[in-house]
């Protein structure tokens, strides 16, 4: 835990990489959400841009595809006025035999200030932040089955904006917990923010071993799992899992775990429904629910840009302060703003 | 670092009198320049407290700006740890704006606020209203209405405490540049 915190924070406790919510305290997570709240407003301005990262270079390094995450990161960086370079690694020098380390060192020599990294290997972003380019702010945009922290935090932003405090909430996370890179981060973030009733719902074949040790309850039955819930988070069912015999069939899955209007009635009447997207209509969620009044699915996309702007600006801020040390750590908060 | 009742500036002791003087000046400003239905916009935090009083006095709509994303010292000081959302619940295009801050010192806050305002639209005019002006300007920015102008020694700055009651005081800071 403390190692993760140390890697992500400057010696003064400011964010300088964002790899996972694990190890970050409640104050830091709330600061991320507060900052994101302020960026939500920027999306409503006539000019949807602030000059914060003007002159900084952000490189999106996507070693695996993700249209939504990549485009929201790109938009977030552009709305911060950064210069953005998006590298599709499949068509870049690595396919000519250049190693990952050489690619990164080359990008660093171009005075890049931030890498946004998506990689299929768990721990890739941690490795780069700790071993390769510690002086470049690293934002984890999803690594293997391990973490997808900006998705988890944008879910927290959605919950807080629509439900307020986390303490009294019952949150059900439904679906493929085992292969989900976001469920683990959601649990860490929810617990840190004070949520006590976290329920994981799904078949045993898609439930990680001994997950209860994280302080959650598990439910094989959907109706009892979402009974009285304030928030229902549906996870995407990766259809390739069907081939691996984790599930009998998509139809069977929908019958047992698909979120229908009738089933949603088990949750609180004002419960909100979330989904990281892309949604599989008719497999994990019914269209009437996905497009219904309780659905937050499209709100989540907008909040995702604001949340990414928040962690990018905070990490850049931390990196710059680190470079400028020894500036007295407490000067920043005490400096008059006249 | 600490607040003092400065003997050289006795006017500071009576903040309500300064505010009422400022409201008079705002009335004159609006009449003299024939500002039709101005909108009042306060700069977070002290400016918002003051703007609320002015908006109530004029029965005018109130907005607030947090200029954290527009400051010119991000490279040096980083992002301010407490950011609150800007909120302009009206269209500023072609409107007359009263931009309100508690203390005008370097002028950098006002520069940042004007940059932010132009990302919301193109106002007809912006008039600057401040409770107090300190003679340490670093940019060519002056107030259109101001209750008190004074000079401070290096290391001193003014702070408005509030919101209830609003009270101006001089702060001595060894760290302040």
DSSP-derived secondary structure for B107-140: SHHHHHHHHHHHTT---SEEEEEEEEEES--SSS
Q: Which two tokens stand for residue A322?
A: 């680190």
Count of pairs with CB atoms under 8 A, one residue in A, one in B: 83
List, for chain A, all residue ranges whose pLDDT scores fall below the cut of 70.
1-2, 4-5, 90-97, 240-245, 325-338
Handedness of CA A299, A304, A307, A309 (dihedral sign): negative
Q: What is the CATH number of domain B15-67+91-172?
A: 3.40.50.2020
Distances (CA, A) of A88 to A65, A93, A94, A150, B19: 8, 10, 10, 20, 59
The pLDDT value recorded for residue A334 is 41
pLDDT at B156 over 50: yes
A2-148+301-334 CATH pick, 3.40.50.1370, 2.60.260.20, 3.40.50.720, 3.90.1150.10: 3.40.50.1370
pLDDT at B69 over 70: yes
Task: State the Cα–Cα distance between residues A15 and A28, nearest whole angstrom.
Answer: 8
Spell out which residues of chain B touch residue A318, defining contact as CB-CB under 8 Å: 78
Q: Which two tokens stand for residue A169?
A: 């909430």
| Interface ipTM > 0.95 | no
Confidence label for B65 from pLDDT (cuts 50, 70 and 90): very high
The pLDDT value recorded for residue A169 is 98
Q: With respect to CATH, is domain A149-297 assigned 3.40.980.10?
A: no
How distant is the Cα of A31 from the closest Cα of chain B, in angstroms? 7
β-partners of residue B62 are: B40
Q: Which of A128-132, A330-334, B19-23, B63-67 has the lowest mean pLDDT?
A: A330-334
Nearest to A52 among B74, B82, B159 (CB): B74
**Local structure of A139: helix, strand or coil:** strand
Instruction: Report yes or no: B173 at the A interface, CB cutoff 8 Å.
Output: yes
Nearest to B70 among A14, A50, A331 (CB): A50
Q: Which two tokens stand for residue B173?
A: 């800071």
Residues of A with CB under 8 A from a CB of B: 14, 31, 34-35, 37-42, 45-47, 49-52, 313-314, 317-318, 320-321, 324, 328, 331-338
**Do the domains A149-297 and A2-148+301-334 match in fold?**
yes
How distant is the Cα of B70 from the closest Cα of chain A, in angstroms? 6
Contacts of A236 by beta carbon, 8 Å cutoff, 6+ apart: A175, A176, A275, A276, A277, A278, A279, A280, A284
Spell out which residues of chain B touch residue A328, defining contact as CB-CB under 8 Å: 175
Task: Provide the residue ranges of all domains of chain A, joining segments of one domain with +.
Answer: 2-148+301-334, 149-297
Spell out which residues of chain B touch residue A14, defining contact as CB-CB under 8 Å: 78
pLDDT at B1 over 50: no
Distances (CA, A) of B164 to B5, B15, B161: 19, 12, 8
Query: Which B residues 75-94 touch A at CB under 8 Å?
Result: 75-87
């Amino acid at each position: 835990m403390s190692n993760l915190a140390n890697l992500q924070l400057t010696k003064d406790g400011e964010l300088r990489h964002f790899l996972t919510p694990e190890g970050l305290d409640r104050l830091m997570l709330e600061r991320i959400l507060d900052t994101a709240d302020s960026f939500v407003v920027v999306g409503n301005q006539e000019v949807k841009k602030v000059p914060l990262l003007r002159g900084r270079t952000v490189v999106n390094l996507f070693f695996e595809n993700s249209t939504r995450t990549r485009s929201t990161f790109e938009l977030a960086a552009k709305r911060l006025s950064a210069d953005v370079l998006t590298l599709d690694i499949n068509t870049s020098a690595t396919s000519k035999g250049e190693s990952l380390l050489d690619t990164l060192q080359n990008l660093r020599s171009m005075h890049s200030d931030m890498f946004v990294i998506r990689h299929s290997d768990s721990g890739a972003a941690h490795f780069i932040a700790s071993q390769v380019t510690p002086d470049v702010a690293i934002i984890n945009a999803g690594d293997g089955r391990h973490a997808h922290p900006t998705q988890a935090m944008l879910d927290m932003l959605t919950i807080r904006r629509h439900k307020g405090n986390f303490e009294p909430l019952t949150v059900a996370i439904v679906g493929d917990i085992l292969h989900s890179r976001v469920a683990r981060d959601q649990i860490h973030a929810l617990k840190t923010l004070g949520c006590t009733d976290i329920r994981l719902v799904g078949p045993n074949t898609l439930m990680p071993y001994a997950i209860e040790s994280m302080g959650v309850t598990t439910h094989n039955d959907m109706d009892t799992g979402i009974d009285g819930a304030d928030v229902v988070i549906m996870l995407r069912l990766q259809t390739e899992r069907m081939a691996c015999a984790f599930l009998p069939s998509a139809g069977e899955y929908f019958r047992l775990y698909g979120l229908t209007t009738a089933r949603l009635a088990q949750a609180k009447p004002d419960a909100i429904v979330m989904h990281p997207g892309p949604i599989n209509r008719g497999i994990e969620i019914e269209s009437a629910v996905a497009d219904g009044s309780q659905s937050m699915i499209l709100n989540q996309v907008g909040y995702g840009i604001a949340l990414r702007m928040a962690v990018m600006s905070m990490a850049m801020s931390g990196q710059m302060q680190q470079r400028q040390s020894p500036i007295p750590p407490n000067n920043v908060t005490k400096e008059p703003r006249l | 670092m600490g607040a003092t009742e400065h003997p050289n500036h006795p006017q500071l002791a009576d903040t309500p009198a300064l505010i009422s003087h400022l409201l008079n000046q705002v009335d004159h400003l609006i009449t003299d320049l024939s500002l039709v239905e101005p909108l009042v916009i306060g700069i977070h935090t002290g400016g918002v407290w003051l703007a609320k009083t002015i908006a109530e006095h004029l029965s005018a709509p109130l907005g607030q700006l947090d200029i954290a994303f527009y400051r010119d010292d991000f490279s040096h000081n980083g992002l301010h740890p407490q950011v609150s959302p800007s909120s302009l619940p009206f269209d500023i295009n072609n409107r007359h704006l009263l931009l309100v801050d508690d203390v005008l010192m370097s002028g950098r806050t006002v520069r940042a606020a004007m940059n932010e305002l132009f990302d919301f639209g193109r106002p007809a005019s912006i008039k600057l209203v401040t409770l107090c002006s300190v003679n340490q300007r670093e940019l060519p920015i002056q107030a259109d209405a101001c209750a008190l102008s004074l000079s401070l020694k290096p290391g001193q700055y003014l702070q408005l405490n509030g919101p209830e009651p609003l009270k101006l005081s001089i702060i001595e800071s060894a760290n302040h540049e």
